[in-house]
A and B are shown apart, each in its own frame.
Chain A
Amino acid sequence: MARLLLHRLGGLVTTLLLSSVVIFGSLYLAPGSPENVLFGNRTPSAAARAAVRHRLHLDQPLPVRYWDWLTGVLHGDLGTSMVTGQPVADRVGSGLGTTALLVLFASLLVVVLGLGLGLLGAVRPGRLDGAVSAVSAVSVSVPPFVAATVLISVFAVRLGWLPASGRGNGLDGLVLPAVALALLSCGFLAQVTRNAVGEQLGREHVQTALARGLPRAAVLRSHVLRNALPPIVTAIGLLVAGMFASTLVVESAFALPGIGQLTIQSVAQKDFPVVQAVALLLVAAFVICNALSDLVQALIDPRLRTAGRTA
């Protein structure tokens, strides 16, 4: 188990390093020089441009710039925003709380509702299962931006129950965005759960447990659900990671001051240091979600624990 942990940790660091190279490289190799942002519509003199490039270290070779940036990041210095002149860390930090709260809220909805509905469908075949399947089939066909539009027009504009944009009071402003973010994932998790639990219910070892006179609830908990967890945990990992990406759309739709909105803004403004930082953050969220789901699976299924040794 410790070996697997080390193995995963190593993989995590490697992935982050590689993606930082890709992000850094692709941003600076993209057409249009970064310093153009500063000049706006004006065409600068060659001397002025050279001075700016020197100040931003753009006149140095790419590997050197990457190294400077990387050592900066490792020391907690993410650079300075080209647009506002604020430290990147401040801009990112102010949005991080909102986004983390939003994704946490949405994840709770997904886990509670998706898992609950899927379980219900699996253990109550017939009409209830049919209803669960229908609901989840509809919800997986509603992408976040459609959900956002519908939710805003119904609950914010027509009914006026919740704010259409901004954080609002307390958690008010997060309710609709979280629902918009969670809807598709809820349906997906319900389907995965229903199939995984349904499959385990038919397993021979479950028959053994029932044949030994164990109470049905105990069989469901310790044998059916426990063994059905690996695919469910994988799905949750992927879905939560995906929700970080979907915050780009949802935060913009609801004008929430989070990382997603910051990403869209910085890309539009070509504020490269900020884009780099948020892109890396999204990658980190993705990688951490997947690593966590792998570890949880190894905890559940002892047959997966040797993975670190063979890989």
Chain B
Amino acid sequence: MNPLLDLSGVTVTVPSAEGPRRLLDGIDLSLAPGEALGLVGESGSGKSMTMRAVTRLLPRGAAVSGAVRYDGAEVLAMDAGALRRYRDHEVGLVFQDPRAHINPTRRIGAFLVEALVRNRGVGKREALARAAAVLAEVGIDDPQRRLRQYPHEVSGGMLQRVMIASVLLAEPRLILADEPTTALDVTIQREVVTILDRLRRERGMGMVFITHDLDLALAVCGRVAVMYAGRIVEVRTAAGLHERAAHPYTLGLLGSRPSIDARSARLEAVPGRPIAAYEAGAGCAFAPRCLFAMEACDRTAPPLRAFDDGLVRCSRVEEIHAARTEATA
């Protein structure tokens, strides 16, 4: 099947006082229609920037190279009109902090119907009726009343549902969810993820789900890509990643998940501080923190290559794999 979304060699550079800074370094990713892909990595690894490259919502002065193909069309080459149609009809964004991402001065109803009314010429009354129906679908009681309320009058969890409803209203084929639950109460997080997951499946939409939480990504997504310093370092099915993660960074992330039995022993599994893409040297960006790094790792950057049914960016992956298999055997 042709991919719905296909990124190849996407590199983003922004200007800074010390010269151009590379934030993304040759991102290769692909998503089939209806597939859910998790994008995982520590803070600053470029997860949000990848999503911004997909929608061309980049910081001012940013230069982007490579290719972002949506359903065969090159997003980076779209003119203003085509880009607006693409953003309106094809992709829907769910952001981390709905309070900041929804205009606080306008009613929830106005927020929900704005795109329908302005971009597609749907009548106000008709648009509001549709909005109420979708609010009910995301589990909001008394939608008519909610439509008249202002964002500050409802809870964060409710507002995130409103955000999800706004995306569903546009009926896109791709959802980009950037840490949609990080800003919410722990008790609400599960509910919101469940709703997002259910509605996505029902409507056959593709989704890129960005999160810090590897467990959550494994639960919600069929496939997971791991990012480090503006690069993809491993891509694998959720089941495969759970059982046969190959990259030392992924192994570290799996080890650093707080688990009930050995919390204190495992938290420090990836020692050191994450770096941004522009801080990386000529070699492997993860080498300075890697338990398996050798001299050669500092000199040449490994490519992303096929290994054990997945993709891995590590020169020593075979050796590490062999050693691990031996140790557990």
Contacts and interface: CB of A to CB of B under 8 A. Distances in A.
Interface stretch (B35-43, B94-102, B265-273): B94-102
Contacts of B85: 213
A214 interface: yes
Contacts of A18: none
Contact of A302 (B115, B118, B150): B150
B152 interface: yes
B170 A212 contact: yes
A300 B87 contact: no
A77 to B, nearest CB: 46
B152 A303 contact: yes
Given A205-B101, A211-B57, A227-B105, A303 B150 contact: yes
Contact of A213 (B60, B100, B119): B119
A207 B152 CA distance: 19
Contact of B103 (A205, A210, A211, A218): A205
Contact of B101 (A207, A213, A218): A207
A202 B91 CA distance: 21
A212 B103 CA distance: 13
B105 A203 contact: no
A302 B55 CA distance: 31
A301 B106 CA distance: 8
A212 B100 contact: no
B258 interface: no
Interface string A210-234: 1111110010001100110000000
A214 B119 contact: yes
A310 to B, nearest CB: 14
Contact of A214 (B89, B102, B106, B118): B118
Contact of A207 (B57, B83, B91, B105): B57
B88 A213 contact: yes
B150 A204 contact: no
Contacts of B15: none
B311 to A, nearest CB: 29
A269 interface: no
Contact of B115 (A205, A214, A301): A214
Q: Which of under 10, 10 to 19, 20 to 34, or 35 or more describes the interface residues of B? A: 20 to 34
B100 A204 contact: yes
Contacts of A215: 84, 118
A223 B103 contact: yes
Interface in A239-297: none
Contacts of A125: 60
B191 interface: no
A223 B100 CA distance: 13
Contact of A204 (B95, B115, B170): B95
Contact of A212 (B83, B88, B97): B88
B104 A301 contact: yes
A278 to B, nearest CB: 39
Contact of A218 (B102, B118, B152): B118
A298 to B, nearest CB: 11
Nearest to A300: B105
A226 B114 CA distance: 15
B100 A203 contact: yes
A207 B60 CA distance: 12
A60 interface: no
Main secondary structure of the interface of B (DSSP, over half): helix
A149 interface: no
B10 interface: no
A211 B114 CA distance: 12
Interface in B54-99: 55, 57, 60, 83-89, 91, 93, 95, 97
Interface in A46-92: none
A141 interface: no
A96 interface: no
Nearest to A212: B115
A302 B152 contact: yes
A213 B80 CA distance: 10
A302 B105 contact: yes
A215 B83 CA distance: 10
Contacts of A211: 55, 57, 87, 91, 93
A218 B117 CA distance: 12
Given A215-B118, A302-B152, A303-B150, A210 B57 contact: yes
Interface in A133-159: none
A209 B88 contact: no
A222 B113 CA distance: 13
Contacts of B114: 209, 212, 214, 222
Contacts of B91: 211
A212 B104 CA distance: 17
A300 B150 CA distance: 12
Interface string B147-191: 000101000000000000010001000000000000000000000
Interface string B109-133: 0000011001100000000000000
Given A208-B95, A218-B118, A213 B104 contact: no
Contacts of A204: 95, 97, 100-101
16 contacts: A204-B97, A204-B100, A205-B101, A209-B114, A211-B57, A211-B91, A211-B93, A212-B87, A212-B88, A213-B86, A214-B115, A218-B118, A227-B105, A301-B105, A302-B104, A303-B104
Given A207-B95, A226-B106, A227-B103, 4 more contacts: A205-B100, A205-B103, A213-B85, A303-B152
